[in-house]
């Protein structure tokens, strides 16, 4: 039983294999957060006793009990306006202009299986693997109800959260903020890890002590963004990969978000994550409900590796969907860095011919095949084939590629529109822009109003027409700008504040329709690389192009940051040419290969321009990726070094049964007469014997994990590391 209730005390415990989450509705009906952490088998309420503090008021009913303040108690879903002056989870304005909500316990129920959220992506699960707890809270004065939903995946150490705000009164209410998660940590000194960056440099890892006041990471870009990722980790100062306490959270949402972490007057920590209230407002009529997107949390008492592994498993098995969810992904060649906009059908076919000879599974035709699109100034929105440019039809090109034994994939950027396009000339009002103001251009393009049904229908019809016109197995779904100038021609003025969220709902609706109608197509998300790398998109696209930066050295850092939350199978990663197109850096072919193998693997270059020796390497790389792919994607992932601070980026995949492990990575810089670098394996069976593939020496699991292995001396910079460990049948005597 993962949900345990003591009815008399209104005491709720969510139990997973390695964690316990406690909350209690007290005599006043206030739902207090009691505990999240190690399993205690006890009621931890004694730990949240707080002194009465000046300027921390009391709720009316408590009389002279000065210590009873909403301002100092750990709470499950704190409301603004009624005496908790910390970051609120929910802010409601009523028809009389007052802004307050006083939520008290009303009822609860437990259901087998995992709840769904209307119109939104969410973690899903079998009846037998998850349970749902629903706690209904009510604000009597306004007859507003909030239903807190908790999904508990016991064996996966995962808890999900979402809230429904229901207007049970007669008058409309206005939701100014509706967070998905509030996590109060009543004691402890903590660090905060978050993932920041920019275009072509996403998810850089930053760790800092939490300080008094509020620190935040957020996006106001309409997308989850390159600049901050909708995820965070709170950990003890001594927390490392294999020791210490940590809490992780990610948001199943692709729009603007806000995470706020407050360290309050009593040195309690509160983390609140949800839709960014700076770009949000929602009018809720009598009888209507608003559903927040989902937040997913996990706790590990044994460091960051376990936290990441919990997230990897739930994302891979319970968020990603469809035919490719657990299937081996095709090795693909994408023409973008090989040709940019300068191609015709025969150039693409030449790339495909070379790729087919070397064992590539799929050719992806990137930007430039549609409308008038020879540069990034025109054409977006005109999703019909430019046969003049291709010098032939798409069907012929696809059929010719298929004759080579390869599949065919294609690029779209559905949410965007160029002013120089037939679509814009016909429907200028479909672009998001404020009447009387010139909209901001980015990459010369504007954004379609995805809250409109006519826009979604147009996109569905034009994309599905292309997908039906030829045998297309893959779609790269790009979105190359941040969104601003929010205004929809179809929304009344008091609902314009709803547009950013309605945009995301529209995007999800379109993706859902296409996923349903084209179940065999592999969708890969993209937003100028990894500008929308979030669990919301992963519900529709089981892989996302991780970054426009294909430089292997920088990629190790981008992929390192990404790995804290997202599984390897979701990381779109390719080998490109040197000097690299983003940095000019020259890295060895082998290092580019091991880096791209920590992902979906593919190529982004003209294979025809490679030397015979390099072509031979390509063919070997593809064979080794195919050999290792089950281990890479199904195995457990371990970070073995920190590329942000060390001279190496090293990581490891270990099979579930610990029978094999693959250590991959790169030594960044050669230093003359340098000391030999060693690497310690993780996750092996301590009392088994292992050998390195191709060699005969035997090592105990303990030796490899505690002593490690010396890496070969290197010559030159950015040298690849590859060690395949195989469990031996001999046993330790
Ligand atoms: C974005 C993508 C690239 C490529 C270009 C095409 O930048 O991230 O991979 O598809 O758009 O314009």
- Residues 155, 17: contact at Cβ < 8 Å? yes
- Ligand 1 center to residue 2 CA distance, Å? 44
Q: Which atom of ligand 1 is nearest to the CA of 529?
A: 8
Q: What is the pLDDT of residue 730?
A: 86
Region 461-473 average pLDDT:
98
Give me the torsion for CA of 111, 117, 121, 127, rounded to 10°.
20
> Residue 478 pLDDT more than 80?
yes
Q: What is the pLDDT of residue 577?
A: 97
User: Which positions ≥6 away from 452 have C-beta within 8 Å?
Assistant: 430, 488, 490, 506
Compute the C-alpha angle 621/622/626, nearest 5°.
115
575: DSSP letter: B
Residues 351-395: pLDDT tens digits?
999 999 999 999 999 999 999 999 999 999 999 999 999 999 999
- Residues 19, 39: contact at Cβ < 8 Å? yes
Q: What is the pLDDT confidence band of residue 674, given thresholds at 50, 70 and 90?
A: confident
Residues 212-234: pLDDT tens digits?
999 999 999 999 999 999 999 99
- Residues 225, 199: contact at Cβ < 8 Å? no
Selection from 357, 372, 374, 369 nearest residue 398 by Cα: 369
Selection from 288, 287, 7, 298 nearest residue 135 by Cα: 7
Q: Which atom of ligand 1 is nearest to the CA of 527?
A: 8
- Ligand 1 center to residue 450 CA distance, Å? 21
- 404 burial (CB, 10 Å; 0-12 / 13-18 / 19+) is middle
Tokens of 402: 């298929």
Pairing of strands 571-572, 543-545: parallel
Q: What is the pLDDT of residue 180?
A: 99
> Residue 1 pLDDT more than 80?
no
Q: What is the pLDDT of residue 214?
A: 98
Of these residues, 45, 191, 216, 614, which one is catalytic? Answer: 614
Residues 234-262: pLDDT tens digits?
999 999 999 999 999 999 999 999 999 99
Distance (Å, rounded) from C-alpha 236 to C-alpha 226?
A: 27
* Alpha carbon distances (Å) from 151 to 116, 160, 279, 352: 10, 5, 28, 46
pLDDT > 90 in the chain, percent: 98
- Pocket-testing residue among 526, 531, 544, 572, ligand 1, by greatest number of atoms within 8 A of Cβ: 526
- Ligand 1 center to residue 323 CA distance, Å? 25
Catalytic-residue membership of 534: yes
- Pocket-testing residue among 548, 555, 571, 575, ligand 1, by greatest number of atoms within 8 A of Cβ: 548
- Residues 372, 383: contact at Cβ < 8 Å? no
Residues 64-120: pLDDT tens digits?
899 999 999 999 999 999 999 999 999 999 999 999 999 999 999 999 999 999 999
Helix (H) or strand (E) holding 33: strand 31-37
- Are 3-318 and 648-731 the same fold in CATH? no
| Coil vs helix vs strand at 696 | coil
Within 10 Å of residue 22's Cβ, how many Cβ atoms? Answer: 22
Helix (H) or strand (E) holding 560: helix 552-563
> Residue 24 pLDDT more than 90?
yes
Residue with tokens 């995946």: 153
Write down the domain spans for the chain: 3-318, 648-731
| Residue minimizing CA distance to atom 12 of ligand 1 | 367
Catalytic-residue membership of 614: yes
Q: What is the pLDDT of residue 521?
A: 98
Mean pLDDT of the chain: 97
Q: What is the pLDDT confidence band of residue 733, given thresholds at 50, 70 and 90?
A: confident
Distance (Å, rounded) from C-alpha 563 to C-alpha 579?
A: 26
Q: What is the pLDDT of residue 440?
A: 98
Pairing of strands 257-263, 719-731: unpaired
Ligand 1 pocket by Cβ (under 6 Å): 336, 366-367, 411, 478, 480, 526, 528-529, 545, 548
Q: What is the pLDDT of residue 732?
A: 77
Tokens of 305: 């590796």
Q: What's the CATH superfamily of 3-318?
A: alpha-galactosidase from lactobacil brevis (2.70.98.60)
Region 440-451 average pLDDT:
98
Residue with tokens 């087998």: 112
Within 10 Å of residue 711's Cβ, how many Cβ atoms? Answer: 18
Region 538-543 average pLDDT:
98
pLDDT > 70 in the chain, percent: 100
CATH: 2.60.40.1180, 3.40.50.1400, 3.10.180.10, 3.20.20.150. Which one for 648-731? 2.60.40.1180
Cis amide bond preceding 613, omega within 30:
no
Q: What is the pLDDT of residue 249?
A: 99
DSSP string, 302-357: B-HHHHHHHHHHHHHHHT--STTSSSPPPPEEE-HHHHTT---HHHHHHHHHHHHH
End-to-end alpha-carbon separation of the chain, Å? 42
- Residues 135, 12: contact at Cβ < 8 Å? yes
Region 255-278 average pLDDT:
98
Residues 36-68: pLDDT tens digits?
999 999 999 999 999 999 999 999 999 989 999
DSSP string, 485-536: S---TTS-GGGGGGHHHHHHHHHHHHHHHHHHH-TTPEEEE-BTTBTT-SHH
Distance (Å, rounded) from C-alpha 297 to C-alpha 307?
A: 9
Strands (E), 186-311: 191-198, 201-209, 213-218, 231-235, 246-252, 257-263, 269-275, 282-284, 289-291, 294-300
- Pocket-testing residue among 223, 367, 531, ligand 1, by greatest number of atoms within 8 A of Cβ: 367
């Amino acid at each position: 039983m993962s949900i345990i209730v003591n009815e008399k005390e209104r005491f709720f415990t969510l139990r997973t294999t390695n964690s316990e989450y406690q909350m209690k509705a007290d005599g006043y009906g206030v739902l207090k957060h009691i505990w999240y952490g190690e399993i205690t088998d006890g009621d931890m309420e004694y730990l949240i006793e707080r002194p009465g503090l000046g300027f921390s008021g009391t709720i009316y009913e408590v009389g002279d009990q000065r210590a009873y303040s909403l301002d100092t108690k750990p709470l499950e879903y704190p409301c603004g306006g009624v005496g908790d002056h910390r970051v609120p989870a929910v802010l409601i304005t009523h028809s009389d202009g007052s802004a307050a909500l006083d939520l008290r316990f009303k009822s609860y129920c437990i259901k087998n299986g995992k709840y769904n959220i209307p119109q939104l992506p969410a973690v899903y699960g079998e009846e037998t693997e998850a349970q749902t707890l629903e706690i209904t809270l009510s604000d009597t004065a306004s007859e507003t109800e909030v239903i807190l939903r908790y999904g508990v995946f016991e064996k996966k150490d995962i808890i999900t959260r979402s809230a429904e705000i229901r207007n049970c009164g007669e008058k409309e209410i206005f939701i100014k903020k509706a967070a998905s998660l509030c996590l109060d940590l009543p004691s402890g000194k903590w660090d905060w890890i978050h993932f920041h960056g920019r275009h072509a440099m996403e998810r850089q890892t930053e760790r800092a002590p939490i300080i008094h006041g509020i620190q935040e990471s957020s996006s106001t870009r309409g997308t989850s963004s390159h600049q901050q990722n909708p995820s965070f980790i709170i950990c003890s100062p001594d927390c490392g990969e294999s020791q210490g306490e940590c809490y992780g959270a990610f948001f199943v949402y692709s729009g603007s978000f806000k995470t706020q972490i407050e360290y309050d007057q009593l040195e309690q920590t509160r983390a609140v994550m949800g839709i960014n209230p700076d770009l949000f407002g929602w009018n809720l009529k009598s009888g209507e409900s608003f559903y927040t997107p989902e937040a997913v949390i996990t706790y590990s008492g044994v460091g960051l590796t376990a936290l990441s592994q919990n997230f990897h498993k739930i994302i891979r098995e319970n968020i990603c969907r469809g035919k490719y969810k657990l299937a081996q992904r095709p090795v693909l060649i994408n023409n973008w860095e090989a040709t940019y906009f300068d191609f015709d059908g025969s150039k693409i076919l030449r790339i495909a011919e070379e790729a087919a000879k070397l064992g590539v599974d799929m050719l992806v035709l990137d930007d430039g095949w549609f409308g008038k699109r020879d540069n990034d100034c025109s054409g977006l929105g005109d999703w019909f084939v430019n046969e003049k440019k291709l010098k032939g039809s798409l069907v012929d090109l696809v059929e010719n590629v298929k004759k080579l034994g390869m599949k065919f994939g294609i690029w779209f950027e559905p949410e965007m529109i160029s002013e120089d396009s037939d679509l814009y000339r016909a429907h200028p009002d479909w672009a998001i822009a404020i009447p009387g103001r010139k909209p901001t251009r980015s990459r010369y393009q504007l954004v379609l109003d995805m809250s409109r049904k006519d826009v979604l229908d147009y996109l569905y019809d034009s994309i599905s027409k292309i997908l039906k016109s030829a045998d297309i197995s893959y779609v790269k779904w790009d979105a190359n700008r941040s969104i601003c100038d929010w205004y929809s021609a179809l929304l009344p003025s008091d609902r314009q504040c709803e547009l950013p969220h309605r945009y995301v709902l529209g995007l999800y609706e379109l993706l859902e329709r296409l996923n349903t109608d084209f179940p065999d197509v592999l969708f890969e998300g993209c937003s100028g690389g990894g500008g929308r790398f979030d669990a919301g998109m992963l519900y529709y696209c089981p892989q996302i192009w991780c970054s426009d930066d294909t430089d292997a050295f920088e990629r190790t850092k981008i992929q390192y940051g990404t790995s804290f939350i997202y599984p390897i199978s979701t990381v779109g990663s390719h080998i490109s040419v040197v000097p690299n197109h983003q940095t000019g850096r020259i890295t060895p072919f082998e290092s580019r290969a091991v880096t791209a193998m920590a992902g979906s693997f593919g190529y982004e270059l003209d294979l025809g321009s490679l030397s015979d020796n390099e072509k031979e390497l390509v063919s070997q790389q593809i064979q080794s990726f195919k050999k290792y792919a089950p281990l890479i994607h199904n195995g457990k992932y371990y970070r073995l070094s920190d590329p942000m601070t060390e001279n190496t980026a090293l990581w490891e995949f270990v099979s579930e049964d610990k029978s094999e492990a693959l250590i991959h990575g790169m030594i960044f810089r050669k230093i003359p007469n340098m000391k030999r670098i060693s690497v310690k394996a993780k996750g092996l069976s301590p009392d088994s014997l292992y050998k390195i593939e191709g060699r005969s020496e035997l090592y105990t699991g303990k030796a490899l994990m505690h002593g490690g292995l010396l890496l070969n001396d290197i010559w030159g910079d950015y040298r690849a590391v590859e060690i395949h460990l195989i469990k031996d049948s001999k046993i330790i005597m």
